[in-house]
């Protein structure tokens, strides 16, 4: 359930830019620079510590992450740091060009939330999700790959857009 599969010659080109996790996925990188993306902060939802603008949310303490709930999840259990989760996703650049999708591989990505196994925009943007929930995450460069280009597909200083779907939380039944 790793991220995208790269041919060995492409992995060598990307490997120096990847975190110490030996997973060839665009999500498994740690940014090194701090850039910013403008965001809005109208109204705060205390339960999730999100700010909402219609169906969009931002996290006040994390400038550069915008969350849009596209479909509500089921049950009461929400993701939190330390949860082992399965997430389907599609990642695109702001010009609409797709750079990765778990849907294309037919299996979701598995990782532990809040442990730095994925980009910071994911670690923060997937908190508070319920199983079955779909979110669109717009992630500023400093919460993704910063000033580093990745795999010849993601240019340096790119804002990334992900359509995400929480498929499961280890140990939690759908509807719990």
Each domain of the chain, given as residue ranges in start order, spans 8-169
pLDDT of 107 higher than 70: yes
**Contact indicator for 27, 109 with CB cutoff of 8 Å:** yes
Task: Give the residue from 120, 65, 66, 113 showing the smallest Cα distance to 87.
Answer: 113
- Averaged confidence pLDDT in the chain: 75
pLDDT of 54 higher than 90: no
pLDDT of 60 higher than 80: no
Tell me, what's the pLDDT at 13?
37
Active site residues: 89, 99-100, 119, 145, 162
Under CATH, to which class is 8-169 assigned? alpha beta
Tell me, what's the pLDDT at 173?
76
Average pLDDT for 144-156: 94
* Interacting residues of 16 by C-beta distance below 8 A, sequence separation 6+: none
């Amino acid at each position: 359930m790793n991220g995208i599969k790269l041919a060995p010659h492409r992995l060598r080109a990307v490997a120096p830019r990847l975190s110490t996790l030996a997973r060839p996925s665009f999500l498994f990188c740690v940014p090194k620079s701090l850039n910013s993306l403008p965001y809005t902060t109208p109204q705060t939802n205390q339960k999730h510590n999100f700010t909402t603008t219609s169906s969009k949310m931002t996290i006040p303490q994390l400038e550069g992450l915008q969350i849009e709930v596209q479909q509500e999840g089921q049950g009461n259990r929400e993701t939190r740091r330390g949860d082992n989760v399965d997430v389907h996703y599609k990642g695109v650049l702001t010009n609409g060009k797709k750079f990765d999708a778990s849907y294309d591989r037919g299996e979701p990505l598995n990782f532990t939330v809040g442990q730095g196994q994925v980009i910071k925009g994911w670690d923060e943007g997937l908190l508070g999700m319920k199983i079955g929930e779909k979110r669109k995450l717009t992630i500023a460069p400093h919460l993704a790959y910063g000033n580093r280009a990745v795999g010849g597909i993601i240019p340096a200083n790119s804002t990334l857009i992900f359509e995400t779907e929480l498929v499961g939380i280890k140990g939690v039944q759908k509807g719990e």
